[in-house]
Amino acid sequence: MNADLFKSLLKPYWIAKTAKNFDEAADQISTAYHLANIGDTKTLFGAALISADKDILKTFLSIGLGVNFYLASAANAVASEVEVLNKPLFPDKIQIDKDGKRIKETSGTAGTSGTSGTSNTSGTSGTSGTSQLAENITNEVDNLTGNIGFKIIATGFCLYWITAKFSPMPPMPPMISPLNGVNVLFPGIPTDLAVDIRNAFSNTKIDDTIDALSLSFMKHLLTIGGIYSGYIFVGTTLVPMVLPWVTLLGSPPSLDNLDPSMSFEDIMKILKQELNKLIDSIDISAVISKAIGTITSVEILENFARSLGATVPDSPSKEEILTLIEEQLKNVKDPTKQLNGFLDVLDELNEENFTTLDLIALAKSFI
């Protein structure tokens, strides 16, 4: 799944609040999800998603959103009615006892533990009890919403993957050609997805909600599985074969497929993301030493050297600075500190002092 595409498609709708009903809201989410997966979501052996039933996803999203709304509305209405019990039965706080006599009440309300709310004690108890009852009703219906509304939504996502069709190529090794190709037999775990989606919608900021949703969807892709049917050579004869597969992955931009048509900002974002992933798997000092050679600004290099603790002489040449940085990187053993210093260098780069092609060259030095 192309998470960045999903976010960029959905965010403008949510900011503008264009959805007039549940169907429109469901259509926005399902369309963003569908476009973010077509062509980008693949099996481990590289077979890409080419089609799926977006409409079935939209239908279940619409139903689930409606269920959530109406159950929440019902909970609020019931809780409001319960709260009325906290108020005096008569405006002048006059109560009637069991013999029909009028009793003046100074501060009590209709209590759930008293017979008629004729004392301060029973009234106070009533106030506390009914408030707690209203809160309990709201909480119970909120839990019911999570168990029904979001499960309906999660079921829609699972049905989407049941209808999914994938490119038959490339074939799953050791098969050399497809028979029926990819079939999804297990569309993921709806209960886990329902919880994740509900947690995502509990955020109060649009960016946080969309980020959490995209993370939930990518996590769900890891639980999807099926079979691949194709042919394998046995001697000189093609023989049918079926093998299981598990997990769908996206193919987001990475350091090895950066393109000059991409914006400077997008390339920089991908570079920083990939560097944070690589920190524990590569010799960060070695690749930084290699990468900084692409930077021509002596001022930027001086700042990097100082961030590593080096003493920089007046008016140094680029070669002198590079030597200082290389020596200092050897002295700074903490790879996190090395990387943070280099990220500060990247923050100083922009299209005025560094071209897009230069940035791609710098990024590829980390491959």
35-39, 42-46, 144-148, 245-249: which has the highest mean pLDDT? 35-39
Rounded CA gap, 164 and 159, in Å?
A: 9
pLDDT bin (cut points 50, 70, 90) of residue 137 is low
pLDDT bin (cut points 50, 70, 90) of residue 197 is very high
| Over residues 17-30, mean pLDDT | 93
Q: Measure CA of the first residue to CA of the last residue in the chain; give whole Å.
A: 23
Rounded CA gap, 241 and 228, in Å?
A: 8
Rounded CA gap, 88 and 123, in Å?
A: 9
DSSP run (H or E) holding 276: helix 264-278
Rounded CA gap, 221 and 35, in Å?
A: 15
User: Against a cut of 0.85, is the pTM above it?
Assistant: no
Could you report the per-residue pLDDT of 331-345, keeping only the tens digit for each? 777 777 777 777 887
List the single range of 43-52, 116-125, 217-226, 349-358 with lowest mean pLDDT: 116-125
Could you report the per-residue pLDDT of 50-97, keeping only the tens digit for each? 999 999 999 999 999 998 888 777 666 665 655 544 444 334 443 444
- Looking at the predicted structure, is the pLDDT value of residue 133 above 90? no
- Looking at the predicted structure, is the pLDDT value of residue 232 above 70? yes
DSSP, collapsed to helix, strand or coil, labels residue 20 as coil
Better-predicted residue by pLDDT, 24 or 336: 24
Rounded CA gap, 320 and 298, in Å?
A: 10
Task: Please name which of 120, 198, 116 lies closest in space to residue 154, comparing C-alpha atoms.
Answer: 198
Domain boundaries, the chain: 1-37+53-163, 255-364
Instruction: Look at residue 328 in the predicted model and tell me its pLDDT.
Output: 81
Rounded CA gap, 232 and 177, in Å?
A: 7
Instruction: Look at residue 325 in the predicted model and tell me its pLDDT.
Output: 84
pLDDT bin (cut points 50, 70, 90) of residue 162 is very high
pLDDT bin (cut points 50, 70, 90) of residue 148 is confident
Could you report the per-residue pLDDT of 284-333, keeping only the tens digit for each? 677 777 777 778 788 888 888 888 788 888 888 888 888 888 888 877 77
Instruction: Look at residue 166 in the predicted model and tell me its pLDDT.
Output: 96
